[in-house]
Amino acid sequence: MREWLDVVDNMERALQNRSEERHPWEQGIEAIHQQMMDMLSRHEVTPMRCNGERFDPHRHEAMGTMRDASLRDGIVAEVLQTGYTIEDRVLRAAKVVIVKND
């Protein structure tokens, strides 16, 4: 499953570059992405929602820090790569940027 997540990541990168004109092939890519996510769900693999959470080294891999006076230290400010769980276990930790105002 971890190898499959790399394919999902690449599909999501492709979706980030959609044009304002919705071409039929873009709609096809979206449909394929939905099939991928449905397959993960059938195997109880779910993406983690991390933004705004307190950094947890068991669920997050810190890739950097940033200042943000509106957030407390140790809060996930940005997700660089989505993490996934399978049932209640971490399948892949999320790569994140955390707040450090000191």
Q: Which two tokens stand for residue 30?
A: 């979206």
Whichever domain contains 71, its CATH number is 2.30.22.10
Residue 37 burial by Cβ neighbours in a 10 Å radius (0-12, 13-18, 19+): middle
pLDDT in tens, 37-94: 999 999 999 999 999 999 999 999 999 999 999 999 999 999 999 999 999 899 999 9
Do 62 and 100 lie in a common domain?
yes
Residues 55 and 36 in one domain: no
72 vs 23, higher pLDDT = 72
**Residues 39, 53 within the same domain:** no
Q: Select the more confidently predicted residue: 64 or 19.
A: 64
25: confidence class by pLDDT, cuts 50, 70, 90 = confident
What is the structure's pLDDT at 16? Answer: 87
Are 53 and 38 contained in the same domain? no
Query: Using CA atoms, how far apart are residues 11 and 88, in angstroms rounded to an integer?
Result: 25
